[in-house]
Amino acid sequence: MTKTALITGATSGLGYEFVKLFANDGYNLVLVARNGKKLEEIKQTYTNIDVTVISKDLGVLGAPKEVFEEVEKRGINVDILVNNAGFGLMGKFDDLDIQKQVNMIQLNITALTELTFYFLQKMKLNNSGRVLNVASTAAFQPGPLMAVYYATKAFVLSFSEALVEELAGSAITVTTLCPGPTKTNFGSVANVEGTKMFSSAMASDLVAKKGYEALMSGKRVIITGGFNKAGALGAKFMPRSTAAKIAKYIAGEK
């Protein structure tokens, strides 16, 4: 029986790269994003698999449950959940629009948590399943000038690693992808393309491939790129105040 992967934020960036990877391996797809027109365009490119599209803004309260209910109504069994949707903002916390930051928390944390909860119940019934949560190297230290974004990704990493232990002994795996700066539309949305951190951004297809391979092998955490791995490791051993200062410097303009 053909398996099904559900991917959020599926119309661009890492999400779209995941679409291609799963489709190439013959998975049926459930694609979730705000842009309904783009979702339909992607659907039309795949005729050899079943593609279900759900146009939904996961940043809206209640949307994750609506996605789950739609999947249930259609009788689709989700074998793999890819929580990819998310965004960031650059600037001092009290200078940025508070509603946009609250929306960021809703999308990066609440939607991811809800979708994991709903689909994990089904995976437990089947005693099978995989979850890929997209965090960031931002998860490993405080992030001045992107304070809320860094904090949301720290949540994703901590939450996901806790689930790994809760699910130990089962056939369900949870993998956390922690990329560094990646060439997607994230940079323009967050307004960080002109910063030092994006001077060596990795290609999105390479990052997605590394994440996909880690997911399929049941790996706990995958940090893409040697420089990013070194930075994440270094952040563990230095004082948090020092890590914050380094993050603030990297967030500065080139």
DSSP 8-state secondary structure symbol assigned to residue 253: B
CA atoms within 13 A on the CB side of 180: 20
Rounded Cα distance, 31 and 183, in Å: 21
What is the residue whose two structure tokens read 């491939």?
Answer: 209
Gyration radius (Cα) of the chain, Å: 18
Residues 177 and 156: their CA atoms lie apart, in Å, by: 10
| Position 98, amino acid | I
Crossing angle between the packed helical segments 147-166 and 98-105, to the nearest 10 degrees:
10
Q: Whole-angstrom Cα distance, residue 212 to residue 132?
A: 8
Report the DSSP beta bridge partners of residue 202.
Answer: 182
Among the listed residues 27, 149, 150, 212, the single catalytic one is 149
Which of 14, 11, 9, 4 lies closest to 178 in space, CA to CA?
Answer: 14
Q: Are 225 and 202 in contact (CB under 8 A)?
A: yes
DSSP element (H, E) containing 19: helix 13-24
249 is catalytic: no
68: which 2 tokens? 């789950």
> Cα(11)–Cα(14) distance, rounded to whole angstroms?
9
DSSP one-letter code for 76:
P
Query: Looking at the annotation, which residues are catalytic?
Result: 149
